[in-house]
């Protein structure tokens, strides 16, 4: 994955997909993807597959809160993310996080299209510009709520930092 300052690093996760030698990760995982194993579906639904990333945090490659790390050259609808979202690279100023502002606002999972890509990166860039310890604590609290109440605990919406 791409980390802080664009440095590549190996993100640790529990395997949830069958191996597909033709897949380099740029297209992501779609809903109903046949590569997802039965156990993998449970791990993904409960976010347990993300737990090994705590090791990435301890190594200094990730933070608990920040923009989620993307695969190098990530594409949305066959188009590189950099072409869809102006300023995309700015999100690499911070360490990537296990959770982030976009995720606690219902924008987790595969980026379904260009509009969602702009929404997710918009949340990432807003987080970057408004970062504070208080905001990180709010995101961690919302993450705990999502973990306990399910991924649909918060609806996707445009951020208004006055609401944070």
Burial code (b: 16+ CB inside 10 Å, e: under 16) for 1-23 equals bbbbeeeebebbbeebbeeeeee
10-residue averages of pLDDT along the chain (164 residues): 96 89 77 86 86 97 96 90 93 95 85 90 94 96 80 51 47
pLDDT confidence of residue 150: 63
**Across the strands, what pairs with 75?**
80
pLDDT confidence of residue 161: 47
Q: Could you tell me if 93 and 129 are in contact, meaning their C-beta atoms sit under 8 angstroms apart?
A: no
């Amino acid at each position: 994955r791409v980390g802080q300052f664009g440095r590549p690093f190996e993100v640790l996760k529990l395997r949830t997909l069958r191996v597909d030698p033709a897949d380099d990760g740029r297209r992501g995982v779609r809903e109903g993807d046949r590569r997802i194993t039965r156990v993998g579906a449970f791990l993904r639904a409960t976010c347990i597959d993300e737990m090994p990333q705590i090791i990435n945090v301890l190594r200094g490659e990730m933070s608990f809160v920040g923009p989620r790390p993307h695969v190098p050259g990530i594409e949305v609808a066959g188009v590189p993310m950099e072409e869809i979202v102006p300023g995309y690279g700015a999100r690499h100023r911070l360490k990537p996080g296990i959770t982030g502002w976009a995720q606690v606002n219902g924008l987790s999972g595969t980026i379904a299209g260009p509009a969602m890509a702009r929404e997710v990166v918009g949340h990432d860039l807003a987080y970057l510009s408004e970062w504070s310890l208080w905001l990180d604590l709010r995101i961690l609290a919302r993450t705990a709520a999502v973990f306990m109440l399910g991924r649909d605990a918060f609806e996707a919406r445009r951020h208004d930092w006055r609401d944070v």
